[in-house]
Chain A
Amino acid sequence: MSRHLSGFRAWMWQRASAIYLAGFLVYTLGYLIVAPPLDHQALKSWLGGSGMWLATALFFLALLLHAWIGVRDVILDYIGPAGLRLGILAAVFLFLLVCGLWVLSILMGVL
């Protein structure tokens, strides 16, 4: 992990992802309120549209990145011993990776 990725870059990605997450949430919630899909089929086709599918995939990518940076910051603050810190970081990373793969498999399903 380069020094840059852990300091300024990380901070910047956290902010950038936060903006995307907020934008996506506003849009989807607005859509679901204004024109809610009436049945499962409608929902699936809405999500399966190429633009929406890509945006959703990006949403989860941004979410995972955001979560990783945030949780890593907390661990850097509170967990001092290097071994313990590395272990917990690895566990969090694995957990997020599994979540990511799971999301991917679901998204592949709606295609």
Chain B
Amino acid sequence: MEFQIYRFNPDIDQEPYIQSFTVEVERGMMLRDVLLEIKRRDESFAFRHSCGEGVCGSDGVNVNGKNQLACITPVADYTDDPVVIRPLPGRPVIRDLVVDMSDFYHQYHAVDPWLKRKDPVPEQENLQTPEQRARLDGLWECILCGCCSTSCPSFWWNPQKFLGPQALLSSWRFLADSRDQAEDERLNDLDGPYKVFRCHTIMNCVDACPKHLNPTRAIGHIRNLMLKKSV
């Protein structure tokens, strides 16, 4: 099978280019295995990867125009030659498939992604019913791979101002937590033209998320909560 790979090494290349590799596809092969095979043949090829099982979030790449985690994407999903693999879109390329994710991390940091409590610290755990805990499912599993935010046109246009689907999902993860005691503070911080309201429900994020999370729904919850608070 033919794989067309985006290549760019700033030390050598003036311009990025596409390089083609033909890789024998075996049963059960993931895209990461293909990338590793290409790296075996050409060690100058750079991409991030680590756990190989979709939990560390290192190997987000753009395959035939869609963001994927290479390690949990079966090659068998692709029937048509060639498969085009590019870096995550909208981010500055450092080398080959490695992109600079600083803006993405800054937006994550910007939503104060930690539990805020005002009450005195109890001797034991804070109590939380299984139902209250269930509200966090589909939110806390995010692995910060960046597939969602880098597929979001609003994030492409305003990566320094718009929080993006990932950070908004994380924001809702704390707003939805029965233990968190900073609802008003968080909602105030989210208001303004750029933070939440650059989301135009395009829903590329939902389509891209390799963990099947739904940032658009989380954003909807944030807006509804704002609405509830304002009337």
A–B direct touch in complex (beta carbons closer than 8 A): yes
Chain A positions near chain B (C-beta within 8 angstroms)? 3-4, 6-8, 10-12, 73, 76-78
Give the contact stretch, choosing among B105-113, B133-141, B222-230: B222-230
Contact across chains for A11 and B223 when beta carbons are under 8 A apart: yes
The reply to whether B197 and A11 form a contact with Cβ atoms under 8 Å apart is yes
Q: Is B120 an interface residue (CB 8 A)?
A: no
Find chain B residues with CB under 8 A from A11 CB: 197, 223
A contact residues around B193 at 8 Å (CB): 3, 6-7, 10, 76
Contact call B198/A12, Cβ cutoff below 8 A? no
The closest CB in chain B to the CB of A80 belongs to B157
- Nearest-Cβ distance from residue A94 to partner chain B, whole angstroms: 21
Q: Is B196 an interface residue (CB 8 A)?
A: yes
Q: Which 5 A-B pairs have the closest CB atoms?
A: A6-B193, A7-B192, A7-B191, A77-B157, A3-B192
Taking A10-B197, A11-B197 as contacts, is the C-beta distance between A4 and B191 under 8 angstroms?
yes
Contacts of B194 in A (CB 8 A): 76
CA distance in complex: A12, B191 (Å): 12
Cβ of A73 and Cβ of B200 under 8 Å apart? yes
Task: List chain A residues, Cβ under 8 A from B230.
Answer: 8, 12
Contacts of A7 in B (CB 8 A): 191-193, 195-197
- Alpha-carbon separation in the docked complex, A73 to B191 (Å): 15
Per the bound structure, the CA–CA distance linking A6 and B196 in Å amounts to 11
B173-188 contact mask (Cβ, 8 Å, vs A): 1 or 0: 0000000000000000
Q: Convert B128-164 into 0s and 1s, putting 1 for each residue whose CB lies closer than 8 angstroms to a CB of A.
A: 0000000000000000000000000110011000000
- Chain B residues lying within 8 Å of A8, measured Cβ to Cβ, are 191, 196-197, 223, 226, 230
A residues near B223, Cβ cutoff 8 Å: 8, 11
Cα distance, A76 to B158, chains bound together (Å): 9
Cα–Cα distance between A75 and B154 once the two chains are bound (Å):
12
* Chain B residues whose CB sits within 8 angstroms of the CB of A10 once the complex forms: 193, 197
Most chain B C-beta atoms within 10 Å of own C-beta, residue among A6, A10, A12, A76: A76
Contact call B198/A77, Cβ cutoff below 8 A: yes
